[in-house]
Amino acid sequence: MDRYEIQIWRTLKKGPCSFWKLLDEQDEHIKGFVERLKTMMEKGWVVYEGGQFSLSLQGEKLAASISPAQEVRCPHCRGGYNFHAFPEAWELYSKLVESRPLPDPRFDQGFMTQEDIFARVAFMYERGDIEGQEILLLGDDDLFSLALLATGFPRSVTVLEVDSRLVDFIEKRGKENNFNLEVYHYNAVDPYPLEDHAFSVFVTDPVESEKGLKVTLSRGAQALRSEGALYFGLTTIESSWQKWYNIEKMLLEMNFVVTDILRRFSSYPDTDNQFDESYYDQTRMRKLLEVELPLPADADWFRSHFLRCEAVGKPHPLIRDGVDFDASFYLDDETLATPGWEI
């Protein structure tokens, strides 16, 4: 019995639960998780009824030696970081994001909770990557730029964003608050539009196709100075360990070393993002299991790890030219939770 099986067994030992809660409490790539769950159902160990998975009598006997899953994470912080460390910034950000644009599935958007936003702020502040820094964000449906600026710490913040709604919204909030902020309409598939190696910090939550990751991280390498810090989110939901291996090789080729990986650091709740049935119908994951999965999801199952990398010498982008903007930028065999055009 491997660790992935144990994660499923011990969650079901707690009692019947939804697909989303099962998915949230394991860390295998979604395709492997679903195949494992299907096998357990085919063998009669797991049954599905009324939108809930549970252990059969046979499954209970097989899992007799496994204890029910216990909650071991602190309920009062985000990975050890105090998301209320900057209360004035928290209050200001709460006002700045009122009437924000909702996610557009065409751009693989979905924003994280405010708690997770400020856990990131606290972590980056600890690492010295906010105060007095020139920060570039590629994509900002989280409105993370406004959280950074609300602290009053950055020297400047620049945003490159493909969604014109977000460009207008962020720009408006910047002017209203006299922030040192520049916002540009930009698609990552186009050549990098700003001065090379002009920023000290780069932040992005990239699409998770291997092509999209290579392009997005290359834009960060072209933007950052020597010893600059590159931050990005990456899941195990849509990225297998083979893809992680390929990404780490890319980072090394670009002269980056990984300094930190904060596991399951950011969540993207269905309720806040208003992800409904029509949203899930655009993803391939909806069709993986031959059962109807109740919605909305009752767990914040889509969580990303937050990675910090640092340039050793001048970063070296692997891609400088533009690339085709088509489904392959967002989708590959593993991006099963991403809305797509060819489903």
Predicted pLDDT of residue 341? 55
Residue 276 has pLDDT above 80, yes or no: yes
How crowded is the C-beta side of 63, counted as CA atoms within 13 Å? 26
SS3 58: helix
Could you give the CA distance from residue 197 to residue 72 in angstroms, rounded to a whole number?
42
Could you give the CA distance from residue 118 to residue 86 in angstroms, rounded to a whole number?
8
CATH architecture of 3-62: Orthogonal Bundle (1.10)
What is the signed CA dihedral for 244, 250, 256, 262, rounded to 10 degrees? -10
On average, the pLDDT of the chain sits at: 94
Contact 191, 218 (CB under 8 A): no
Domains of the chain, by residue range, sit at: 3-62, 87-330
| Residue 73 CA, distance from chain mean position | 19
Res. 150 pLDDT band, cuts 50 70 90? very high
Predicted pLDDT of residue 343? 41
pLDDT in tens, 69-95: 998 888 888 788 999 999 999 999 999
Contact 217, 309 (CB under 8 A): no
Do the domains 87-330 and 3-62 match in fold? no
Angle at the Cα of 265 from the Cα atoms of 262 and 270, rounded to 5 degrees: 155
- What share of the chain in percent tops pLDDT 70? 99
DSSP 243-300: HHHHHHHHHHHTTEEEEEEEEEEEE--HHHHT--HHHHTTSGGGGTSSSPPPSS-SS-
Residue 38 dihedral angles phi and psi, to the nearest 5°: -60, -45
Contact 322, 269 (CB under 8 A): no
Res. 342 pLDDT band, cuts 50 70 90? low
pLDDT in tens, 211-250: 999 999 999 999 999 999 999 999 999 999 999 999 999 9
Q: pTM for the whole thing?
A: 0.93
Residue 206 has pLDDT above 60, yes or no: yes
Superfamily of the domain at 87-330: Vaccinia Virus protein VP39 (3.40.50.150)
pLDDT in tens, 20-74: 999 999 989 999 999 999 999 999 999 999 999 999 999 999 999 999 999 888 8
Question: In this structure, what token pair is assigned to residue 336?
Answer: 């099963």
| Residue 63 CA, distance from chain mean position | 33
Predicted pLDDT of residue 251? 98
| Residue 311 CA, distance from chain mean position | 22
